[in-house]
Amino acid sequence: MNFFLISSFLTLVTCFAFASNETTFNLKWSYDKLPIETEMFEGPLSLASRVSEVGEFKGREQLPIMNDLRTGKLKVRPGESKIIILVVKNKSDKPIKFAVAPHNVMPIEASLGIKFNCLCNGHTYTVAGKSSWYRIMELKTLKPVAASPVEVTMEHRIFSVK
């Protein structure tokens, strides 16, 4: 009995210590007056081979979505990878051609050891009128780095391109 209690306690302590190493990533998107909305979902690591894929988003059934990331916040442990699906919804009738400026990371020091295979690479994308568009992205943290900051904010600015 005592052995059971001690081992349970140790497991809890270990779990707590492990969880405390997590970094909360706060992923933000700004788009001024563009008639769009963004949504994010977490996908399984099995989508890693499809990172950078884009296409028309027809509904949740289309991709193996695990969680809604409504708050834009995602907890990542050191050395972990996360698959993120960005959905851009065009509320207007006309297609919108857009691009994304390189993301800002705060605090700046946190950028050392974060690899975000996102979409801010100078390319332009198009979402058709009254449609939604998706991109599969991957956020990776390297072991030595991610343990330090408690929260990291990464902000992207979406803008229209003629």
DSSP state of 140: E
- Residues in region 143-162 near another protein by CB under 8 A: 143-145, 157, 159, 161-162
| Closest separation in Å from C-beta 161 to another protein | 6
DSSP-derived secondary structure for 2-30: HHHHHHHHHHHHHHHHHHHT-EEEEEEEE
- Residues in region 24-63 near another protein by CB under 8 A: none
Say whether residue 126 binds another protein (CB under 8 A): no
- Residues in region 57-76 near another protein by CB under 8 A: none
Distance between CA atoms of 120 and 103, rounded to whole angstroms? 7
> Residue from 10, 15, 142, 150 that binds another protein (CB under 8 A)?
142
Reading the block at residue 16, the tokens are 């707590």
Q: How many residues bind another protein (CB under 8 A)?
A: 25
- Say if residues 74 and 27 touch (Cβ distance below 8 Å): yes
| Closest separation in Å from C-beta 58 to another protein | 27
Q: What's the farthest any 2 CA atoms get from each other in the chain?
A: 71
| Residues of the shown chain interacting with another protein in the complex, contacts defined by CB under 8 A | 99-105, 108-109, 111-113, 115, 120, 122-124, 142-145, 157, 159, 161-162
